[in-house]
Amino acid sequence: MSWPLSSQPLLILAPMDGYTDRAFRTLVKWIEPRTVAFTEFLSAATVAAQPKLAAEWFATTDAEQPVVVQLYGKDPQDFLRAALLAEQYGCAGVDLNMGCPAKKVVAHQHGSALLKNIDLACAIVATLKKHLRVPVTVKTRLGWEDASHLIPFVQRLQDQGLDAITIHGRTYAQKFQGEADWRPIYALKDALNIPVFGNGDVMDGGSALQKLGNLNGVMVGRAATQDPWIMREIGAALWQETSPLPPTLDETAEGWLRFARAAIGDRPEGPACQRMRKFLIQWVRRFGLDHLRAQATAVNSMADLQALFADARHSVVVV
Ligand X SMILES: Cc1cc2nc3c(=O)[nH]c(=O)nc-3n(C[C@H](O)[C@H](O)[C@H](O)COP(=O)(O)O)c2cc1C
Count how many residues are written for the chain: 319
Catalytic residue positions, numbered: 100
Q: Which phi and psi angles does 230 have, rounded to 5°?
A: -65, -20
Whether 196 and 216 have beta carbons less than 8 Å apart is answered as yes
Min dist CB 42 to ligand X, Å, is 8
Q: Which is nearer to ligand X, 46 or 306 (CB)?
A: 46
To ligand X, the closest distance from the beta carbon of 234 in angstroms equals 10
Is residue 239 within 8 A of residue 231, CB to CB? The reply is: no
Q: HEC states along 39-68?
A: CCCEEHHHHHHCHHHHHHHHCCCHHHCCEE
Assess whether the previous peptide bond of 4 is cis (omega < 30° from 0).
yes
Residue nearer to ligand X on the CB measure, 96 or 296: 96
Task: In whole angstroms, give the CA distance from residue 202 to residue 186.
Answer: 15
Rounded to the nearest whole angstrom, what is the least distance from the CB of residue 274 to ligand X in the complex?
A: 17
Residues found near ligand X in the complex (CB under 6 A): 14-19, 40-41, 70, 97, 99-100, 139, 168, 199-202, 220-223
Residue among 197 and 283 whose Cβ is closer to ligand X: 197
Q: Residue 18 or residue 271: which is nearer to ligand X going by CB?
A: 18
Chain mean position to CA 267: 24
Helix and strand element counts for the chain (H, E):
16, 9
